[in-house]
Amino acid sequence: MGKNKKPENNKIFDNFIQPTEADAIMAAGAKMGYQPSEVLDKGHGDWKRSMHRTSSSTHCHASQPCWKVMEPLLTRAFPIVGMGERHAEVQLLEYAEGQYYKSHSDFLGGSENFMAGPRALTLLMYLDDPPEGGETAFPEIGLTVQAKRGRAILWPSALDQNPRVKDTRTKHQALPVLRGGKHAVNIWYYQRDFWEASSKGCMG
């Protein structure tokens, strides 16, 4: 997360999620339904659909049944992220064949001034095994991670010494799913209390 971050600072945890947990999250996602994913329009500060990101997604909020299946994972992640569930924005992802998310940072432009502060860390978890494609690539650090059921990747989006500043080295992309589909979960950890900020409508 620091200035001299090396590739190994992207941490990979295999078998972070049990198959039954992955199945339960996918079932919760299917029940809630996925909508076309959106990206933040930096110029206007609003969220919109874009050919930059063609996946579908759905948010999982603390008040919803899906949170029950997320809770053990948030507890498990605590020792490695050092932040609890109040910092966490959870989004379930679904990619059909051919879908992707081109190069981006999870650091949101303007988030320096959000009540919750910027997204400091991302924990991405894969729920199934796409037969071909769907890797997550980090071109700046020369790392491509295969989507593998149960695997989690942790990376910083902000600098350790100054979380108001984007860590440009963790720019990444979800490569197109070439065959089959892909399910994953984003947990974006904000520097401060995300629940309080979102309940007050202060997320940008």
Ligand X SMILES: O=C(O)CCC(=O)C(=O)O
90 touches ligand X by CB under 6 A = no
Q: Could you say which residues in the range 53-82 bind ligand X, by CB under 6 A?
A: none
Q: Does 106 bind Fe ion (CB under 5 A)?
A: yes
Q: Which is nearer to ligand X, 5 or 102 (CB)?
A: 102
| Near ligand X in 180-199, by CB under 6 A | 184, 186
Residue 180: CB minimum distance to ligand X, A: 14
Question: Tokens 């609003």 label which residue?
Answer: 46
Taking CB positions, which residue lies at the least distance from ligand X? 174
Q: In whole angstroms, what is the distance from residue 112 CA to residue 97 CA?
A: 35
Residue among 149 and 172 whose Cβ is closer to ligand X: 172
124 contributes a contact to ligand X by CB under 6 A: yes
The least CB distance from residue 92 to ligand X, in Å, is: 10
Distance CA 66, CA 92 (A): 10
Smallest distance, Å, CB 184 to Fe ion? 10
Contact string (CB under 6 A) for ligand X, positions 11-50, x = contact: ----------------------------------------
Secondary structure, 3-state, the chain: CCCCCCHHHCEEECCCCCHHHHHHHHHHHHHHCCEECCEEECCCCEEECECCECCEEEEECCCCHHHHHHHHHHHHHHHHHCCCHHHEEEEEEEECCCCCEEEECCCCCCHHHCCCCCEEEEEEEECCCCCEECCEEEHHHCEEECCCCCCEEEEECECCCCCCCECHHHCEEECCEEECCEEEEEEEEECCCHHHHHHCCCCC
Smaller CB separation from ligand X, 38 or 71:
38
Strand 143-145 versus strand 132-133 pairing type: unpaired
Q: Which is nearer to Fe ion, 23 or 146 (CB)?
A: 146
Query: Residue 184 binds what, of Fe ion, ligand X, none (CB under 5 to 8 Å, by partner type)?
Result: ligand X
Interface residue list for Fe ion (CB under 5 A):
106
Interface residue list for ligand X (CB under 6 A):
93, 101, 106, 124, 136, 172, 174, 184, 186
